[in-house]
Amino acid sequence: MGNLGFGEVLIILVVALLIFGPSKLPQLGKAAGETLREFKKGVNGIIAEDEEVKKEENK
């Protein structure tokens, strides 16, 4: 399942435009960006907690 190239991204955008219409795409993009941002925050929080536990175990 590797990286997406320009052609694949373009096809996905065209299909999304056809399904949701031009008025909904900005809302969907904003929601996707917020979801991704929250996911990254959660992952970074878990990583930070794991590192803290490892530091405490090494003492």
- Return the structure tokens found at 38: 């929250």
Q: How far apart are CA 9 and CA 24, in angstroms?
A: 18
What CATH number is associated with residue 45? 1.20.5
| 11 found inside a domain | yes
Over residues 19-51, the pLDDT tens digits come to 988 888 889 889 989 999 999 999 999 998 888
Q: pTM surpassing 0.85?
A: no
Number of domains the chain is built from: 1
Q: What's the domain range around 20? A: 6-57
| 13 found inside a domain | yes
| 1 found inside a domain | no
| 25 found inside a domain | yes
Question: What integer pLDDT is reported at residue 38 of this predicted model?
Answer: 95
Cβ count within 10 A of residue 40 = 10
Which amino acid is present at 39?
F
